[in-house]
Structure formats: structure tokens, C-alpha cells
Amino acid sequence: MEFDFFATDTDLLQVWQWLYDMPEMRLLESYSEPDEPNKWFNSWEEIEARLRSGNRHMTAWPSAVGGMPRVQDVVFNAETQQKLGARGRTVLRSAAFIDYIWFGEQRGCLGASSLTCWSEKGAAQRSDFREDMVAEVDWKAFRSTFGKIQRQIRKSASHKLHEAPIMPDAWRRTVNREIELWGWGEAVGSESPHLRPVTV
């Protein structure tokens, strides 16, 4: 499952706040830095500091739905080890992760953000998770959690580009002509016909 939206750092901080405030939600670093343990963000100050350092990427795990993360050790090849001065990294894996992806700046425009996660069918048929890793997830509760964060983002937005909601700070900066949005192939300004009001 995938949900696209447009968010500045200010908007993204709000998304992480919503996730952080959900009962039993854990925020973490699924891919560790080389030769470092995976970070678990136990305070709001840690989350703010990560985003303000320029690192937008984080993973959310609604622990109440099950899907305890497993640790996978990744050993770099000899060339990468020499380049980074590190042996490898650890990866945390769970069928119940919600991952954040940012497509970055595209030709000077703000690229879309995306929250992605597995559906039960997708995890069972197209992933490399073991059967027990899929079976231990409460998929009804997981869908409800993913749906809630989507609704919060949609409700915050007054306009959307195609089907992707534009969060408040991104919209304000677009209207003020401070930024343009990357519309999957073209720059989109505030007067573009591709922009439409959101109906929640």
C-alpha cells in the first residue's frame, strides 16, 4: 500500500507528531548507519533533532499489531568496506512497518513524499517474509492504523496535486511562489490546472 503527499520539513514534523502520539507506536531507523546499531527514537526531542539534521527518513511500527522486528546483518563487499571503513550494517525487518520515502528535490521542485507498507496479500504473495512473520500481524488493526494517518494528512490539506494531498506549509509556500511542486514530469505552480481542492 502506498500513500503519496507533498510535505515540507515543517509538514513532515507534523506527520511524525501524529505517528508519535499514536498509542504503542514506535519510531525507528530500519537501516542502521555503517557499523552502528539501529536507532530507536524514544523522545520527541530525538525525532525533531533527526529531521532538523536533514535526515527525513524514519520507520513507524505500531507495536500493538504484532510483527516483532527481526534483525538482519548485512556485510558490505570488500570495496564498500574499504570505502566506508566499516564492515556492514544491520537491517530491522517486519511485515508491520510503515516506511517513509521522500523523492527529494526534482529539478528544483519539491518532490512527493510517500508512506508505504505491506498489505496482508502483498506480504504473503510478493515479499520474502517467512509465513510466521506474516501470520503474527493483526492485519485489520494494521489497516486501521495506516488509514488513520492517511485521513489526518488529507484533513490537513486544502488542495491536492492529482490525488496527492498538499500539506499546509507546502501549500502556503506554493501559493506564495516560494516553491513549485514536482508533478511527476513537470513543475507545478499555484495556478496549475492540475491542482484541485481536497474533498475529505
Q: Average pLDDT, stretch 8-36?
A: 95
Q: Which residues contact 66 (CB under 8 A, 6 or more apart)?
A: 96, 136, 137, 138
pTM: 0.92
Task: Give the start-to-end residue ranges of the domains of the chain.
Answer: 2-157
Q: What is the reported pLDDT for 55?
A: 86
Mention every residue, 6+ apart, whose C-beta is less than 8 A from residue 7.
15, 113, 167, 169, 170
> Exposed/middle/buried for 143, CB within 10 Å: 0-12, 13-18, 19+?
middle
Q: Encode pLDDT of 94-134 as tens digits.
A: 999 999 998 878 788 999 999 999 999 999 999 999 999 99
For residue 59, the tally of other CB atoms under 10 A from its CB is 20
Distance CA 198, CA 200 (A): 6
Using an 8 Å Cβ cutoff, are 114 and 2 in contact?
yes
For 134-160, how does the pLDDT look when each residue is reduced to its tens digit (9 = 90+)? 999 999 999 999 999 999 999 999 999
- Average pLDDT across the chain, whole number: 94
Instruction: Give percent above pLDDT 70 in the chain.
Output: 100
pLDDT tens per residue across span 60-98: 999 999 999 999 999 999 999 999 999 999 999 999 999
